[in-house]
Structure 1
Amino acid sequence: MSDNQLNLNPEEPACDASRRQFINHAGRGLVAIGVTGGLLGAVSAEAASTGTAASLWPQGSGPTDVQLPEINAKTEPKSAGVPNPRPVDQRVGYAVVGLGHLSLEEILPALSQSKKSKLAALVSGSPDKMQKIARQYGIKPENCYSYATYDKLKDNKEVDVIYIVLPNSMHMEYTVRGAKAGKHILCEKPMATSSKECEKMIEACEKAGRKLMIAYRIQYEPMNRKVQELVRNKTYGQTKMIEAMNCQNQGDPNQWRQKKALAGGGSLPDVGLYCLNTVRFLLGEEPSEVTAQVYSTPGDPRFKEVEENVTFTLRFPSGVLANCATGYGSYNAKRYRVYSETGWIQMDPAFTYHGLKLERANADQEGTENKAQVNIGEKNQFALEMDHFSECVKENKRPYTPGEEGLQDQRIMEAIYQSAKDGKPVKLPAVAKQDAFRGSPPVASK
């Protein structure tokens, strides 16, 4: 078959010669295509007949990124491009501890989309469920652990990081044990149920020479990072106020989130924490004072042990006031709006796993309001946070959201509860440095 018959461009760049050669010789592998399916079969047949398998798939180090030429007109939307994940043997191995909703619905699928991370092991108290999940994700039986055999992870060289996705009250124990096993720790938020527990977690990881990161996915998500950029660049002038709300209607009163011994609190540490942490993330400064109220519907079995609603106001040294609200018994709302001198910036929804929406508005010189939606491609938030941590592990960098970031939130939440209890504002220690508790910023994902 000739080039003309294949409609090949005779002026195609020389760098694509291997592709032309493949197409010209692919006919020899048509039988293999029928047997194995697709072009891989043709490659296998060609390699087998010419003895060039080693040259087709060279072993060893070297660049692995692939670039493809643009094939659409300039008027067409650009594709996301080739993902170019790291080779599997170069990715950081994760052991996921706890196989509940978050792990099965978000974290394990995210590991399949990660570029620098991979699932290496599972830890669960349910052997039957773990066996099914292990089969789904190709995890070897010897890489499946119970809570009793958790410490044996120290002998597993395939595991670099332990991702703790357990009830809040268990975070401290499994972080300390994981650090002693010589593994880096990624821990779900809230970091723990008290500031003392947070301090013990930080101390254990420092003593073991291991990294500790808290899974604040919002701080790695592109749209929220765009809001941070707009705020800090004073795009619409000085920020004056922020409103943030995160509410949901809880169901089963017997789930662990409704038990104080396991959760440490109700709506505040679970979903209200997003409001608190995101406001701090956007501004880069720490609040100097907090005022709060707590209320739970009398007789509602869901709130026998933990609170239903919390409202709190954060006062910042710059003069910004942030009014935040969170609840466990009202219809879903997950949004915030930043009010500045000449415009506002809004995320609604802001805290969900998918479907985020960013809008902004400002007035022109004639006083006409201009409102626009900011379109930024959606990325998997869990994959982004895990790949950031993997990069920190590989390059020995301090994570952007280390244990100290989680400790600061815990201290502020304790002040929120104290203010609600005493019915008066609570002063917070002064922190002058911007981003005082954060580490190396995440590298923008390509």
Structure 2
Amino acid sequence: MNTRRDFLQKLAGSTMAFSLLTAVAPSCAGAAEQAYDGPLLRVAIMGLGGYGTRVAEAMQACKKAKLVGVISGTPSKVTAWRAKYNIPEKNCYNYDNFDKIKDNPDIDAVYVITPNALHHDQVIRVAQAGKHVICEKPMALNAKEGEEMVAACKKANVHLLVGYRMHFEPHTLEIIRMRKAGEFGQILFFQGLSGFAIGDPTQWRLNKQLAGGGSLMDIGIYSINGSRYMTGEDPVWVTAEETKTDPQKFKEGVDETIQFQLGFPSGAVASCLSTYSMNNLDRFFLNGTRGYAELFPATNYGPIQGRTHKGEINQPVVTHQTVQMEEMAGIILEGKQPVVPVNGEEAVKDLKIIDAIYLATQTGKKVPVNLV
């Protein structure tokens, strides 16, 4: 892994060097700082859709992470990205030949931003090529797939991180700090509402083969994961009920709305809703014996807003993907430890809960969960 100084020296004397300097010099908050001269994580993005574009734009403000490559099945997108982000042709691949990144020393990590069903095989191939992996959530279709991905990355001795951007968001981290400090007392209850009215019925998110499910696999995972970092516990049981009002749009295996409940070892409980049929649902509420915390909106791209029994939460408004990539570069390059884990093992826990929720909707019974 090169330092930024090495990277820039290779480009010295070119107009590209000037544009690169202006792109990466600002800090995540946008303030002018002294030029960064530490290690640089060189990233290729796999999947150049809407979210991949958002990540690429956000990375332009990073100091420790740099977009240097692309992997896509659409040649026109590769051409456009090459021009926009000054990506060398040798760092461009498609889904058939990206195993060749093994022989490319200028790429350190690949960020997999493709439909859920593709993650398993793509992550394992990236690991076998000897590159670190960042994967969007949910990491896989089920816990079994997730465990195989974790094992493959361990065998290859590469990092497997997951795109849990909220784990680095300042308002979220402030609530976690307060909870750890005992400012809410004993945690009793969490509520997570995650939903929106989904549009185009032909999109991959409504395709069981590509998505692996419906709203729970897309937006509902925020409440699942949020219940864990807000309470500071992992659940030991779940119950769940599914509601479907439009079977034409939400076909067999594609959930429209799921209400689910979680029970924690301390006795705390969570009540959550995941839906593709209602807007204005992006709220977390945490209640304890000494106080409460609320985030609304809780997980969208921002600005996140929150309050507690002590008043408004006044934390910086950040670009989530910029901070995420900076912090993930720190994890990979410097061994930093985040407040809330973002590794593959963390993702497998969420997948085990998802498996249990789906089982509960099918059986109507309380399903035990073992995340140890």
What's the TM-score, normalizing by structure 1? Answer: 0.74
What is aligned with 1:391? Answer: 330
1:321 aligns with 2:234: no
CA distance in structure 1 between the aligned counterparts of 2:192 and 2:247, rounded to whole angstroms: 28
Give the aligned partner of residue 421 of structure 1.
362
Find 1:301's aligned residue among 249, 252, 257. 249
In the TM superposition, what whole-angstrom CA distance separates every residue of 1:10-30 from its partner, at most 9, and x where no partner exists?
xxxxxxxxxxxxxxxxxxxxx
Cα offsets for 1:209-249 (capped at 9, x unmatched) = 11111111111111111111112222132111111101111
Question: Does residue 120 of the first structure (1) align with residue 68 of the second (2)?
Answer: yes
2:285: which partner in 1?
337
Higher CA-based Rg: 1
C-alpha deviation, 1:396, in angstroms:
4.2
Where does 1:99-118 land on structure 2 (aligned, <5 Å)? 99-104=48-53, 106-118=54-66
Rounded to whole Å, the distance in 2 between the matches of 1:295 and 1:319 is: 27
**Range with greater deviation from structure 2 (190-199 or 339-348):** 339-348
Higher relative contact order (CA closer than 8 Å, sequence separation 6+): 2
Where in structure 1 are there 5+ consecutive unaligned residues?
Answer: 1-64, 67-78, 363-371, 432-446
For residues 336 and 430 of structure 1, the distance between their equivalents in structure 2, rounded to whole angstroms, comes to 23
Q: Distance in 1 between matches of 2:262 and 2:42?
A: 39
1:160 partnered with 2:108: yes
Deviations 1:46-101 (A, max 9, x none): xxxxxxxxxxxxxxxxxxx99xxxxxxxxxxxx974345634x8311000000011
TM superposition shift of 1:149: 1.5
What is the aligned length?
A: 345
Distance 2:337 2:119 in 1: 20
The 1:107/1:80 distance shift into structure 2, 3 A limit, reads: closer
Post-superposition Cα deviations, 1:358-379, rounded to whole Å, max 9, x if no partner, equal 11126xxxxxxxxx21111111
Moved over 6 A (4+): none
Question: SS state of the match for residue 329, structure 1?
Answer: coil
Shift of 1:152: 1.1
RMSD over aligned CA atoms reads 2.0
Percent sequence identity over aligned pairs:
34
1:237 equivalenced with 2:162 (yes/no): no
* Aligned-pair CA distance for 1:423: 0.7
In the alignment, the residues of structure 2 paired with residue 180 and residue 135 of structure 1 have an alpha-carbon distance, to the nearest angstrom, of 29
Q: How does 1:135-146 map to 2 (within 5 A)?
A: 135-146=83-94
Q: 2:144 aligns with which of 190, 193, 196?
A: 196
Cα distance in 1 for partners of 2:99, 2:107 equals: 12
Tell me, yes or no, if structure 1 residue 373 matches structure 2 residue 312.
yes
Q: Does 1:256 align with 2:215?
A: no
Structure 1 position 153, deviation (Å): 0.9
| 1:355 Cα offset (Å) | 1.2
Deviation, 1:148, is 1.3
Contact between 1:95 and 1:163, CA under 8 Å: does it hold in 2?
yes
Say which of 147, 163, 178 aligns to 1:215. 163
CA–CA separation in structure 1 for the residues paired with 2:337 and 2:182 = 28
Q: What is the CA–CA distance in structure 2 between the aligned matches of 1:375 and 1:198, rounded to whole Å? A: 37
Alignment partner, residue 266 of structure 1: 214
Distance 1:251-1:304 versus aligned 2 partners, 3 A rule: farther
Give the secondary-structure state (helix, strand or coil) at the position aligned to 1:412: helix
Map 1:55-74 → 2, pairs under 5 A: none
2:353 is aligned with 1:412: yes
Which amino acid in the other structure matches residue 379 of structure 1? Answer: V
1:219 and 1:278 in contact (8 A); partners too: no
- Counterpart position of 2:47: 98
Give the drift of 1:133: 1.5
The partner residue of 1:82 within 1, 23, 32 is 32
Do the aligned residues in 1 keep the contact of 2:73 with 2:94 (CA within 8 Å)? yes
One-letter identity of the residue aligned with 2:45: V
Ranges in structure 2 where 5+ consecutive residues have no aligned partner: 1-24
Which amino acid letter does the alignment assign opposite residue 77 of structure 2?
Answer: K
Give the Cα–Cα distance (whole angstroms) in 2 for the partners of residues 398 and 199 of structure 1: 21
TM-score w.r.t. length of structure 2: 0.88
| Partner Cα separation in structure 2 for residue 150 and residue 119 of structure 1 | 16
CA, structure 1 residues 416+255, in 2 after alignment: closer, same or farther (shift >3 Å)? Answer: same
More off after superposition, 409-418 vs 383-392 = 383-392
Conserved 8 A contact 2:71-2:92 = yes
Determine if contact 2:349/2:371 at 8 Å carries over to the other structure: no
